[in-house]
Each structure stands twice: as structure tokens, then as C-alpha cells.
Amino acid sequence: MNFDQIKTIAFDADDTLWVNETYFRDTEERFASLLERFETKNKIDQELFKKEMQNLPVYGYGIKGFMLSMIELAIELSNGSVSPEVLQEILVMGKEMIAHPVELLPHIKEVLEKLSRRYRLIVLTKGDLLDQERKLEASGLSQYFHHVEVMSDKTPEKYQHLLDHLQIKTSEFLMVGNSLKSDVLPLIEIGAQAIHIPFHTTWAHEEVSKERAEEADFLTLSDAKELLEVLPILS
């Protein structure tokens, strides 16, 4: 792996720059408790994931779709006997997720500050547009980024289209993110480079088979700070 040619580095946002998946997990726990008189936690978890996958083509990524899926499932799982208080609680939980303060991951600010002296940095994220703009604003990181793109999905085609649009050569492009499926493998596929920095928890939808991951050529780091060791930087 050689990063000498890299001119633009793109960062994923959720669980790469700041904590995100943790809040979804917490909300899933609370959702399961709210419905515990109807089903086991395990079953509720499974059904919620199924419901989200069913609705993903309709709602896309983000908290609002997650809220709508929880409401739909709560009505179905309870055969319509769920109390209005539970549904209101789901709305409250969702609004709390949206309003949650941004928690930066370790060393992110320092790393971006140093990288921004040599590279053009951009953000490539999925999720709700307003949500992601708000988080970036609240993060205090927006000064480091030349461009922010909220993508409806992270496929090789969408990446290629975006790089063309931003006039970035794939050979000069590096993506950094926590999701093998969204931030790493599609980039390898189009001939760009990628660095994987796993977050401690991964949404099942973002998981890929070990085989798919093993075939690809990319670096894995355990903390953003290590980027400063593997990438050429201005001292």
C-alpha cells in the first residue's frame, strides 16, 4: 500500500468522526423493553431489523425511517394492542436521537487538523441530509472540509459518479471509514484506496462476509491517530 499519490481523503461521518451506532443500539434496547409483554427481546430485535430492511428502499437511511419502522412494528407485533403511550415514547426516543449532542471519536480533531495541511478533506456520508448537516455543524469540524456530500447510498457507481463530478482521480483518492461494506469495498472496486477503522459495534446491514473482505486490499487501523503514521503528512 502506497499513499504517496493521494490528494483527497474522504471521511465517512457516523462512527468514523463521531459516535452514532451506539444510540441506535440504545434505542433498540428501549424499544424491546417497551414491547416486552408481547415478545422476547431477541425476537423483537430480529423483527425490527427485518422491518428496517423491508422499508430501506422506501425510507432510505436515517433516524426518521427508523422511527417509522419502530412504529409500524410496534402496531404489528402487538396485533394493534400497543398503547398510545408506547407510540408516543417511540416518537420521543427518535427526537432524542436527532437532538443528541455530537460525541467526537478519539483524536479526530487533531488528526483532521494535521491532515488538512496536506490533503483536500471531504465528508461522504449516508443518512438524513438535515441530520448530517446539523451534526457536522455541531461537531466543530466543518472548517477542515472542502466538501460534504450526503449520499443516498454508497455503491461503487455512486462513488464513481461523485468522483467524476468533483473531478477527483480514483488513483488520488482515499476513503476512511468504519464500514467495510460502505466505506471500503466499493472504493477498492473502483480502483481507489480505503482505510478501515472499525467501530466497536456495526449495524448488521453493514456487515460483509469474511471472504469478501479478505480478498480486498486495504489497511485496517484501530484508531484515527494511526492515520498520521501511515499517511505522508507535512511536519
Q: Which of 91, 204, 228, 230 binds a second copy (CB under 8 A)?
A: 91
Q: Report the alpha-carbon distance of residue 224 to residue 210 in Å, rounded.
A: 23
Q: Which is nearer to a second copy, 152 or 171 (CB)?
A: 152
User: Of 231, 158, 175, 188, nearest to 16 (Cα)?
Assistant: 175
Does residue 197 bind a second copy (CB under 8 A)?
A: no
Where residue 127 falls (left for φ over 0; alpha for ψ -120 to 50; beta otherwise) is left
Does residue 156 bind a second copy (CB under 8 A)?
A: no
Does residue 189 bind a second copy (CB under 8 A)?
A: no
Q: Which of 98, 190, 208, 216 binds a second copy (CB under 8 A)?
A: 98
Residue-level length of the chain: 235
**To the nearest whole angstrom, how small is the minimum distance from the Cβ of residue 95 to a second copy?**
6
Does residue 234 bind a second copy (CB under 8 A)?
A: no
**Helical pair 41-59 and 63-77, crossing angle rounded to 10 deg:** 130
Q: Report the alpha-carbon distance of residue 62 to residue 29 in Å, rounded.
A: 18
Binding site for a second copy (CB under 8 A): 58-61, 64-65, 67-68, 71-72, 75, 78, 80-85, 87-88, 91, 94-95, 98-99, 128-131, 133, 147, 150, 152, 165
